[in-house]
Amino acid sequence: MNIQTLDVLIVDLPTIRPHQLAMHTIVMQTIILVRVTGEGGQEGWGEVATIGGASYCAETPEAIKMNIEKYIKPLVIGRNAVHFDAISYGVNKHVVGNMFAKAAVEAAVVELAAKARGIPVHELFGGQIHASLPVAWTLASGDTRRDIEEAKESLHAKRHNIFKLKIGMGDPKRNVAHVLKIKEAVGDEASVRVDVNQAWDETTAMYCIEALEDGGIDLIEQPLPAWNKEGMARLTSRFRVPIMADESLSSLEEAYQVAKHRAGNVFSIKPANVGGLTATKKVAAIAEAGGISLYGGTMIESSLGTAVCAHLYSTIPEMKYGTELFGPLLFTDTITTNAITYEDFQLIVPSSPGYGMEMDVEKIFHYARDL
């Protein structure tokens, strides 16, 4: 199944409510779609999502699109999609960094390879171990009463019993108090975690994590900047509550260093962070070898990108802290004609060939930027 064409689209999807992060508040989420076609017009689609333009990482949506078209596309056209690992190896030899761009292209090539064989993508990564995955919901409105109502409604509907709060923006002490009120409201019915998005210094982290640990919070995600691995290691050794590395894991080499120095005892794995599905599976192996637990992270993808991650995560033996693949639930509309199924606090992994999602091309071009 040789690759004949490759197209890149930037799509902006509106959210159902503002979604606050330490560096940005999302009201319109930007995703980058890649479509590859093979002989006979068969298509493979890939996606990565980005957060806040250049405020989150160096790869902006515009840069991802341009670098794919100029530097990665020529390395992919004419290649056999079934050899997706070899294609990624060749791209990595000639293109430095650009992890989001590589992940989007590889995802599309992988789907074309799976469709050529008439199988789901998870079959290409060793086979499915989990037919469904626990899914966390991020409470990020910034309003305590609203977040409590949202959490209780999710529990009642059996959509989520894991909640994460973004607390990197604003006064740390007030944010901690906000979290503890929510934990008190949901009690033992739910696991409550926090994500700091690198916003604290080590001194702030010390007193905040102590209070969160005492209040029954189950996980602290990336409290310090990605570069401060020594500080992350000190926090990991000091507290009982697990410290999760996220932005620290920007490559295979970084994952190895985090594991070696115990700069976190949980890994948040994301294909976009490390350049694709094959690299993510390797990061999971590094974690397993180091006795580090796993969490299936998100960049808040659409239904397609969520399915991309779900297929890979379903092949990993143990995802101790579940996943965060709630992206489709945050958008007011969808770019696929079918939907991801959520039930009994789980995401049901799609089972049709490829990622199991049917693309709605009319919707895609409705929300696509005119570049």
Q: What is the DSSP letter of 277?
A: H
Torsional class of 18: left (φ above 0), alpha (ψ -120 to 50), beta (otherwise): beta
Give the N- to C-terminal CA distance of the chain in Å, as an integer: 30
Neighbours of 27 (CB within 10 A): 11
Cβ-contact 268, 246 below 8 angstroms: yes
Question: Residues 6 or more apart from 141 whose CB is under 8 A from it?
Answer: 17, 18, 20, 147, 150
Spatial contact of 62 and 236, defined as CB atoms under 8 Å apart: no
Catalytic residue positions, numbered: 166
Q: Among candidates 32, 36, 27, which has minimal Cα distance to 271?
A: 32
Instruction: Give me the residues paired with residue 251 across strands.
Output: none
The 8-class DSSP code of residue 216 comes to: T
